[in-house]
Amino acid sequence: MNDRILRSWRIDLVWERDWNLGLVGRTLAGLNYLGTLFGGFPKYRYQKLGIPPEKIRTRPAAALWNYGIDRLRLPSSLRMDEPRRMGLWVARQAKLAPAVLVNGTAYRFLFPKILHRPVMRLVERGSMFPEDFFRFPQKARQEAGYPFHKDLPPEILDEIEKAKLAQATICGSEMVRQSYLQRGFSPEKFHTVHYGVDPGRFPPALHENPTGRNLRIGWLGVIGFRKGIDRVRRVAEWAAERSLPLEFHFVGPVQDPESMDILRRFQRPYILHGVKKGQELKALVPQWDLYLLPSYEEGFPVSVLEAMSAGIPPVVSDDTGAREAIFDNDEGAVLCSYDRAELDAKLLALCRDPHLRKEKGKKAIARIRSSFSWNIYRSTLSRLHATFLASAGVSP
């Protein structure tokens, strides 16, 4: 029996989007652990990430429908519940691998349906405990002077309850893991696996002579309240007071009209690049002088690692797992309050001194190579799956 499980050990992936899927999927495929990928986007999206086509099964109707609803600005009540459709679809599969790993909230609908089946239930966590995931953006809205919600909505309460059905949870950062342990979850069920990147994927930062030009501050991701758009406004106002020629480069879609309203109040120039991928992104990132991640809640963003791998000093929030990539502010800066005193103490010299930026950029590259490379991630994930095999009664 054990030999049979060992030979057939595979992990089915249930991925509502493509967040970190290229990294996770290619790593599991390289370890010969990848079963079937059940995805909510068209198949080509996953093939572009390096997932073998024979491993991919998709149902993109809900994602395409919701995309159309958003583009046409139709009532949100017409949107389909993508996680529900995904979870119930996978639950109806006659055969699943010995383990199923869910990224997103589809587990709310999948796990209750497979409790009686001999399938290990795993969750990939890139965000903190559901209550924190909800509270942090509400805090951001409150600080920016916009309406916010105090009470937890039913779907968050349900997510909290269903989180207990996972037999093991893989956390993208120690901060994510601690957010669950503080709620009484069993430590042995939560495993921290920091993501890793290819240190050579992005060309080295140009660090061009800053004389006569604006200092370029890059930010990659969905731009909105949870991501800290109002914190960037505070940085912009501080820079105006200090006569610092900052220029913000936003990559990714702006999330809501209120975020656009905040952008219109910026006191420093900014450029909205939209969505950039592949060669376009590789050409853009090395032009930045600093990388900014002002998020209120985020597990361990790969974007920070990629910027660091290019030798760009990161500036990140203490609210995120990204702080775990920065050692005592050596490679960049960690911000907590975003008030003027803190920005003076941690950003003023970094913005004014090109030699300091280059020095911290070199330390950032060294940090990636020593702690957050893809090879390190692969090794850690391999050891973790050995523990999953052991819990199934198998010694690999």
How much of the chain exceeds pLDDT 90, in percent? Answer: 81
Q: Give me the mean pLDDT over the 59-88 stretch.
A: 91
Judge whether residue 378 has pLDDT over 80: yes
The DSSP secondary structure of 14-43, one letter per residue, reads EESS-TTHHHHHHHHHHTT-EEEEEESS-H
Q: Are 87 and 109 in contact (CB under 8 A)?
A: yes
Judge whether residue 392 has pLDDT over 80: no
Q: Give me the mean pLDDT over the 170-188 stretch.
A: 95
Read off the pLDDT band of 393 (50, 70, 90): low
Across all residues in the chain, what is the average pLDDT?
92
Q: Give me the mean pLDDT over the 42-53 stretch.
A: 92
Query: CATH topology for 2-196+374-391?
Result: Rossmann fold (3.40.50)
The DSSP secondary structure of 107-166, one letter per residue, reads HHHHGGGSTTSS-EEEEEESS--HHHHHHHHHHHHHHTT-----SPPHHHHHHHHHGGG-
Q: Tell me the C-alpha distance between 70 and 68, whole Å.
A: 5
Q: Give me the mean pLDDT over the 303-328 stretch.
A: 93
Read off the pLDDT band of 7 (50, 70, 90): low
Res 1: pLDDT: 32
Closest CA to 14 of 33, 35, 39, 51: 39
Read off the pLDDT band of 158 (50, 70, 90): very high
Read off the pLDDT band of 18 (50, 70, 90): confident
How much of the chain exceeds pLDDT 70, in percent? Answer: 97
Query: CATH topology for 215-370?
Result: Rossmann fold (3.40.50)
Res 226: pLDDT: 87
Q: What is the pLDDT of residues 234-263, one digit of tens each?
A: 999 999 999 999 999 999 988 788 999 998
Judge whether residue 156 has pLDDT over 70: yes
Q: What is the pLDDT of residues 93-125, one digit of tens each?
A: 999 999 999 999 999 999 999 999 999 999 999
User: Which position has the token pair 């330390």?
Assistant: 363
Judge whether residue 213 has pLDDT over 60: yes
Res 279: pLDDT: 93
Q: Give me the mean pLDDT over the 163-179 stretch.
A: 96
Res 395: pLDDT: 42
Judge whether residue 6 has pLDDT over 90: no
Res 17: pLDDT: 80
Region(s) of the chain under CATH 3.40.50.2000: 2-196+374-391, 215-370
Read off the pLDDT band of 8 (50, 70, 90): confident
Q: Tell me the C-alpha distance between 106 and 21, whole Å.
A: 15
Q: Give me the mean pLDDT over the 167-193 stretch.
A: 96
Q: Tell me the C-alpha distance between 43 and 57, whole Å.
A: 7
Length of the chain: 396
